[in-house]
Amino acid sequence: MNVAVLGAGSWGTTLASMLAAGNDTTLWARDAEVAEEITRHHRNPAYLPDIELCPSLRATTDPQTALSAADVVVLAVPSRYFRSVVELVRPEVPVEADLVSVTKGIELETGFRMSEIILDVLDHDPDRVCVLSGPNLAKEVGAGQPSATVLACRDAARAERLRQAITTESFRVFTNSDVIGCEVGGAVKNVIAIAAGIGDGLGYGWNTKAALITRGLAEIERLGVAMGAEPITFLGLAGNGDLTATCSSPQSRNRHVGEELGKGRPLGDITADMMMVAEGVTSTPAIAALAHRLGVPMPITRKVEAVLNGTLSPSEAVQQLMEFEAGAEFDDID
């Protein structure tokens, strides 16, 4: 297949390198120096300095060059820039191309998932819009460590065809028809990871981490079901799997933000020191607003929002969560 990957961050570059091993793949980057390094030296020193990329991978800053013959378009840009990039490339996206979003976030202004933004901007068949989501830390996948993910698509045949194209010896791809559930799991787990990092920064141990992951999963499931997702999706790779990795790994950008907040650093200083985007910082207010609109109780998410906007200190947020009336464990789970 001819594949275009939009976004030369760590995950976009990793996927492009994997896809280039069996497909004619072009990576679109905003930065000309990054594009040249990838094409000429098979490296992305800004995001993956220790990973050697597939020699056949090409990079360009020209959307037309990347997209003109694409059978598959992978969108790997941060959620805050997602709509603007889709609008930028709209004239170049072939109408018959399959579109795969790998971005995990919710748009603040609209509450849209990334696949909804695609359909809002492009005149595209919804059956051609897919989502890739799971416990996929780019450096580990790029290094060839055993990993797995989920490709969600309404069209089962298309999902299976793309699954085969993306699967490698070390990267196993499963299919799912629940696009909503996979996107909600991927977006909300970043918020819970910030909470888990706050616990780490405050010096709490594994009991706290396990409680946050488990109750965080309940929040993810509640919101997802309210949006039309299947409950069982959240027990899988795009739910529990992604949540566990993001809340636990030192590589997790969202967990790192939370940890630094727990240590008392201001949010602005933390994000200024980070080269890559922590999606949870952008998505938390959007997810909290969406939960409010749907009448979904999400106490962990609301406390993370309060810490991010400076309304509560990390220790105050923990105290208020511990004062939350617990009740029966599964009363609020469908």
d(CA 250, CA 225): 30
Q: Where does the pLDDT of residue 329 fall: very low under 50, low under 70, confident under 90, or very high at 90 and above?
A: confident
Q: What is the pLDDT at residue 325? A: 74
Last residue of a domain, one of 152, 177, 202: 177
For the chain, give the mean pLDDT: 95
Percent of the chain exceeding pLDDT 90 equals: 94
Single out the catalytic residue among 104, 189, 209, 303.
Answer: 189
Helices (H) and strands (E) counted in the chain, each on its own, are 15, 8
Q: Same structural domain for residues 195 and 238?
A: yes
d(CA 62, CA 27): 10
Helix (H) or strand (E) holding 300: helix 299-308
Q: What angle do CA 283, 176, 156 make, to 5 degrees?
A: 125
- List Cα–Cα distances, 334 to 223, 224, 232, in angstroms: 11, 11, 10
Q: Can you give the CATH number for the domain in which 114 is found?
A: 3.40.50.720
Residue 164 included in any domain: yes
Q: Same structural domain for residues 163 and 296?
A: no
The alpha carbon dihedral of 273, 208, 241, 291 has a sign of negative
Residue 330 included in any domain: no
d(CA 4, CA 326): 48
Please tell me whether residue 152 adopts helix, strand or coil conformation. strand
Q: Same structural domain for residues 95 and 135?
A: yes
Residue 331 included in any domain: no
Query: What's the structural domain count of the chain?
Result: 2
Residue 246 predicted with pLDDT over 70: yes
Residue 211 predicted with pLDDT over 70: yes
Residue matched to tokens 């790192």: 256
Q: Which domain holds residue 228?
A: 188-322
If one compares 126 and 276, the residue with the highest pLDDT of the two is 126
Q: Same structural domain for residues 204 and 120?
A: no
Q: Same structural domain for residues 26 and 126?
A: yes
- Mean pLDDT of the region 269-283: 91
**pLDDT tens-place string over residues 134-192:** 999 999 999 999 999 999 999 999 999 999 999 999 999 999 999 999 999 999 999 99
Q: Is 139 designated active site?
A: no
Residue 334 predicted with pLDDT over 60: no
Residue 216 included in any domain: yes
